[in-house]
């Protein structure tokens, strides 16, 4: 109970910032193609990397016009600081080409009324480097607030607050869905909105509300 009390105090401290960030996510659902593509690339880069470093890399890529000339040497420069840059660069090149050649409309994907889980399935099946976590992250950042981003920070907190008995050795799709449901049940139990809880647990670990 003591841990929950501390979490509730932390929620009061961060609530206004979290609410503002959630509003920004909801607004991004109706943003332009460039903004949505930025979120897509950002979520490709984030695994095991610092979020701010990844966002800075995406901003630089757009600033330098790299999506038009696809200069790999320049991409390598802007990805400095991102972990596993070569693998992620391959994902970026593959996915950008797929979006162009198959006329995939990310704006329509984000804005249409399909179920969030169906959208997540499409992203995973269509793009390289998009697993359950990355697809959930992209959709959350574009206004879909019913999906969990089960990264190491969230999983560690799920263990700390007895949402789970132990950390999973691997995150299969089925395990991910099970843990996502457990986190939703926990959010109801402590009366913190699901989208807020995700941001709160991030803030607890990183001491700020970001993306």
Assess whether pLDDT exceeds 90 at residue 44: yes
DSSP one-letter string for 156-170: HHHHHTTSSSS--SS
As annotated, the active-site residues are 133, 151
Q: Which tens digit of pLDDT belongs to each residue from 173-202?
A: 999 999 999 999 999 999 999 999 989 998
Assess whether pLDDT exceeds 80 at residue 21: yes
pLDDT reported for residue 206: 74
Q: How far apart are CA 155 and CA 135, in angstroms?
A: 17
Q: Which tens digit of pLDDT belongs to each residue from 90-128?
A: 999 999 999 999 999 999 999 999 999 999 999 999 999
- Mean pLDDT of the region 27-34: 96
pLDDT reported for residue 33: 96
Buried b (16+ CB within 10 A) or exposed e, 76-106: eebbeebeebeebbebbeebbeebeeeeeeb
Structure token pair of residue 75: 């991409």
Structure token pair of residue 102: 């198959």
The closest alpha carbon to 211, from 132, 122, 149, 161, belongs to 149
Assess whether pLDDT exceeds 80 at residue 25: yes
The closest alpha carbon to 141, from 22, 45, 15, belongs to 22
Assess whether pLDDT exceeds 80 at residue 210: no
In the chain the first and final C-alpha atoms are separated, in Å, by 28
- Mean pLDDT of the region 54-77: 93
pLDDT reported for residue 1: 58
Assess whether pLDDT exceeds 80 at residue 2: no
Contact 139, 120 (CB under 8 A): yes
Assess whether pLDDT exceeds 80 at residue 10: yes
Give 68's pLDDT tier (boundaries 50, 70, 90).
confident
Q: CB within 8 A of 19, min separation 6: which ones?
A: 196
Identify the burial level of 157 via C-beta atoms within 10 angstroms of its C-beta, where 0-12 means exposed, 13-18 middle and 19 or more buried: buried
Instruction: Catalogue all structural domains in the chain, each as residue range(s) with its CATH number.
Output: 2-26+148-206 (1.10.1670.10), 31-141 (1.10.340.30)
Pinpoint the alpha helices (H) of the chain. 2-28, 33-45, 51-63, 66-69, 72-78, 85-101, 106-111, 116-126, 132-141, 152-160, 173-190, 194-206
Residue 201 sits at the vertex; the CA angle it makes with 195 and 206, to the nearest 5 degrees, is 125
DSSP one-letter string for 168-186: -SS--HHHHHHHHHHHHHH
| % of the chain at pLDDT higher than 70 | 97
């Amino acid at each position: 109970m003591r841990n929950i009390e501390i979490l509730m105090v932390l929620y009061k401290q961060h609530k206004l910032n979290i609410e503002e960030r959630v509003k920004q996510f909801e607004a991004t659902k109706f943003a332009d193609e460039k903004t949505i593509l930025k979120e897509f690339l950002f979520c490709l880069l984030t695994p095991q990397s610092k979020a701010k470093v990844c966002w800075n890399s995406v901003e630089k890529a757009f600033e330098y016009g790299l999506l038009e000339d696809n200069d790999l040497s320049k991409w390598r420069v802007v990805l400095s600081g991102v972990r596993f840059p070569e693998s992620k660069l391959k994902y970026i090149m593959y996915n950008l080409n797929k979006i162009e050649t198959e006329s995939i409309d990310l704006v329509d994907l984000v804005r249409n009324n399909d179920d969030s889980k169906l959208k997540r399935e499409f992203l995973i099946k269509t793009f390289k480097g998009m697993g359950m976590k990355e697809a959930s992250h992209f959709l959350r950042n574009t206004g879909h607030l019913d999906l969990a981003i089960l990264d190491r920070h969230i999983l560690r907190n799920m263990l700390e607050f007895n949402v789970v008995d132990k950390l999973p050795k691997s995150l299969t799709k089925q395990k991910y869905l099970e843990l996502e449901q457990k986190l939703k049940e926990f959010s109801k139990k402590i009366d913190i909105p699901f989208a807020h809880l995700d941001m709160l647990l991030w803030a607890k670990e990183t001491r700020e509300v970001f993306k």
